[in-house]
Amino acid sequence: MKGVVFRGDRKLEITDFSDPTPGPDDVILEIKASGMCGSDLKWYRAEDLPKAKAALGFGGAGDIIAGHEPCGVVVEVGKNVPSTQARVSMRAMQHHYLGCGSCPQCSTGWPQVCEVGLTHVWGTTHHGSHARYMKVPAKTLVPLPEEISFVGGAAISCGTGTAWGILKRLELKSEDSIVVFGQGPVGLSVTQFAKSFGAEVIAVDLSDERLGYAKRLGADHTLNPLQHEELPAAVRDLTRGLGANASVDTTASPVARRDAVLSLRPWGRCVYVGEGGDVTFDVSNDIIRRQATIMGSWVFSTVQQLECARFVASRGIDVDQLFTDSWKLDDAKAAYESFDKQTGGKGVILPSD
């Protein structure tokens, strides 16, 4: 089979691999949709990819098939896998982290916070979903409801699931207002979900094109920082002088991170999800005396992934609206050149087409 391998410095190759075979506790997924995630760009853009991976403890893995938003159909099952866990023809997503399996974090569905240390990250240390087939432990599968398309399931497998995890951290209520910094795939998903909760949503982005997508997904207001000298003041103007109840930063920009906190009313809650970088505050005036709460959120648990899928299915939320581009596997080079511009919505690779 063919698989996409990142080479760094905005280069990738479509390389030949042997079709995978399952171990006793594994399954083989035929990938119907493999989402493109903003975190993929970290490896795609890296000037020295081996050094970048080694810095995060992921060195020495060799050629690894990219992609960590898999969704597809089980086509082969290992001999030890019970039918209650996986079966041939089962529609499934995958949770793309696997830790030790027994520490308090792993045992409650949070393998990415494994107290022993991550052992598997699909698409980084182990072959990912930018290929027709993918071998994974059966216990990492999450069932895909019939009401959700494979493309929608791919979104839930990372970006949209991450948005769900953010809103669970914020405990967002229908009477709340929320300002979402960054309207890439994760920010757009936050916007769509927050509106489905009944909240008042303010979408922020430097791209008017992405703000247009946010509006179509339910944003009540849109703000482009290039048109506002003081963005927190613009947020207060839209919230009757109060500021937002909640905010999210998906950008990792130090300016956006600070504005996300300064846009809050007293007792407001902010979640940071954009990776890397830093931010500087006047701690007393910006945080303590405003009773602000700042939280981090790292993707989602296995329980939350299923919870998110069931919510999408039961509410009829059209997650497919997030996608603006779909690509065949052979077009992966053009797909990432387009995605790298970060002006559109979400992209997906369809390896089985």
- How many helices (H) does the chain have, and how many strands (E)? 10, 17
pLDDT value at position 49?
A: 87
Q: Per the structure block, which two tokens stand in for 191? A: 């916007």
User: Which is it for the CA torsion 294, 300, 303, 305, positive or negative?
Assistant: positive
Average pLDDT over all residues of the chain: 96
Backbone angles phi, psi at 259, to 5 degrees: -65, -30
Query: How confident is the model over 166-224, as pLDDT tens digits?
Result: 999 999 999 999 999 999 999 999 999 999 999 999 999 999 999 999 999 999 999 99
Which residues touch 241 (CB under 8 Å, ≥6 apart)? Answer: none
DSSP three-state, residue 313: helix
Please tell me the distance from the alpha carbon of residue 216 to that of residue 213, in angstroms, as a whole number. 5
* Cα distances (Å, whole numbers) of residue 300 to 95, 193, 203: 9, 15, 22
* Cα distances (Å, whole numbers) of residue 10 to 13, 17, 44, 156, 338: 11, 22, 5, 26, 11
Q: Which residue has the tokens 């602000």?
A: 292
Question: What is the band of 34 on the pLDDT scale with cuts at 50, 70, 90?
Answer: very high
Top pLDDT among 288 and 352 is at: 288
Q: CA torsion, points 75, 80, 83, 85, in degrees to nearest 10?
A: -90
pLDDT value at position 50?
A: 84
Amino acid of residue 107: S
pLDDT value at position 81?
A: 98
- Read off the pTM: 0.95
Which run of H or E residues covers position 54? helix 49-55
- Closest alpha carbon to 5 in 56, 57, 61, 52: 61
pLDDT value at position 60?
A: 63
